[in-house]
Amino acid sequence: MSTERIRNFCIIAHIDHGKSTLADRLLEKTHTITSREFRHQMLDDMDLERERGITIKASAVALKLVRNGQEYNLNLIDTPGHVDFSYEVSRSLGACEGALLLVDASQGVEAQTVANAYLAMEHNLAIIPVISKIDLPQSRPYDVLTEMEKTLGISPEEAFMVSAKTGAGIDEIFDAIIKHIPPPKDSSDAPLKALIFDSVYDEYRGVIIYLRIFDGSIKVGDEIYMMKTNRSFKVEEVGVFKPKMVAKDGLSAGEVGYCIANIKSIRDVKVGDTVTHARERAAEALPGYRPPIPMVYCGIYPANNADFHLLREALERLSLNDSSFTFEPETSQALGFGFRCGFLGLLHMEIVQERLERESNINIVQTAPNVTYEILKINKEIVKVDNPEKVPPVNEIEEFREPIVRASFVLPTEYLGAIMQLAEARRGKYKGTEYLSEKRAILTYELPLSEIIFDFFDKMKSATRGYGTLDYDFIGYEHADLVKLDILVSGKRVDALSTIVHRKDADMKGRKLVKKLKNEISRHLFEVVLQAAIGSRIIARESIRPIAKNVTAKCYGGDITRKRKLLEKQKEGKKRMKSVGNVEIPQKAFLSVLSVDE
């Protein structure tokens, strides 16, 4: 097919603004799927996506559309809306020429609407603004048009009104895609240059790579070359998504599809790599993607140490399908061998943990998450710390720096005071307020990342009755008065429970944490002493009483010396047990660091 009749586009929006429903309607209108095959959220094929009602992975699908007697090939990529999956969105944008910017007619412009719109502008994409859910009784499309004009500079005349539920306005969307989104350039005669925008691992067929062809063409039998990993493979199958994989003879410039080339090793594929022909190679690679910067780190360990290698394989397979998280081996005195994993946010961390347990059937222990800190040592060396255990001794530290983010809250004006109070309590610095309309505003604060990764989002939703939204961008590191808070169990420091906290909160958090741990750790046959410490200074202490056994129960009447003798014998036995006894710490205890109330 001529590139003049190809359009590559994605759908971008804030979470729950109707991307997946609009994608369903586009599939239905183009008869890509039959009514018998249809189900809601067709492109959300993970169980986890359906259970949570959110899109986690970007999904591609090829649509055939006939307009004015001509057949067009529309390649659609449906993207996630949550801030933790923004890397999925940026990868999708790199494979497209245009984007449908979706805004809920009742909710209006929200934090991720703004973030995704600017991301699309950075990629020089043609943006088609769409007001969705106009069938809802509480919809206010004309107010939303005003908000879009104020925040994004989008003219109201450019926007389209649709209801994906009823199908109203869908035909106009198709016309706009053909008219406003430019076709890819015709470069079928040039050497092959294809971008890997995603990949999955199949037990029987090896690594399946998802491609956007920019130059040249690819067909079965071709020998391809990966420009980053310097590996060559022979193509066994190529095809497109409808939305299931459908084989074709070949893919040419402008098309989006998949390629199977008997790639057995996960390490041979890198998302963002350029695929070219082994004999006639492209002169230079495509720009690819900027590597994601993990914001949150935690330790993941197998519950059974014998499963360490299984966990490594599971993480490698998952990283192939989700390149936005990182992992490296680490050792913990308390938990043995495991991995230090980096995530884009707390929801991302939860999703990876659930996918690991479901897809690989491995029981894992996860430590409390923390952010990356920067430490200036007395010898002027700057070190990055993603694990409290790596914090240098106090006498070597000149300055402790924490990551700061610029947070944008989009919310009804009546809740401005509540959010300002919440942000101030979390050491936030007020930066400004911009009014979208009489009833909605954007509030901007600079906040320490460590203050918002745990329960901040939930508290914000409660304070705004669900109407507030949050987006944040990392801006750099700033000096802060921070300390390392250690937890000692029976005199032994448990590295997996160590955290980095602000000095003014350390005493309170230490006391609350040992109280919380006292409830989580079960009683033993000996006394278990829990302590919170900053360096060598103990700031809090709790004791778990031993399980009592009445050794004198069989004694009734008679001389008291017999009872004393039994009690002394018991005391000696408990001393001996205490010196060799190990304290069992359950998984819940490692996550209790999160649930300490602020």
Binding site listing: 16-21, 132-135
Specify whether the CB–CB gap between 485 and 506 falls below 8 A: yes
Closest to 111 measured CA to CA, from 509, 461, 576: 461
With a CB cutoff of 8 Å and minimum separation 6, the contacts of 356 are 300, 311, 314, 315, 318, 362, 364
Compute the distance between CA of residue 312 and CA of residue 338 in angstroms, rounded to an integer: 9
Question: Exposed/middle/buried for 195, CB within 10 Å: 0-12, 13-18, 19+?
Answer: buried
C-alpha distances in Å from residue 33, one per residue of 54, 167, 256, 425? 22, 16, 18, 52
Tokens for 530, please give them.
Answer: 């829990």
Write the DSSP symbol of residue 157: G
> Would you mind telling me the total number of residues written for the chain in this entry?
598
Strand ranges of the sheet holding 160-161, from the earlier edge strand across to the other edge: 59-67, 70-78, 6-13, 98-104, 126-132, 160-161
CA–chain centroid gap for 457, Å, is 14
Report yes or no: 154 and 44 within 8 Å, Cβ to Cβ: no
- Which residues lie across from 215 on neighbouring strands? 193
Q: What is the DSSP letter of 292?
A: P
Q: CA-CA distance, 6 to 184, in Å (whole number)?
A: 7
CA angle at 552 for the pair 550 and 554, rounded to the nearest 5°: 105
Sort 564 into a burial class: Cβ within 10 Å, 0-12 / 13-18 / 19+.
Answer: exposed
Helix (H, G, I), strand (E, B) or coil at 84: helix
Residues of each annotated binding site for GTP: 16-21, 132-135
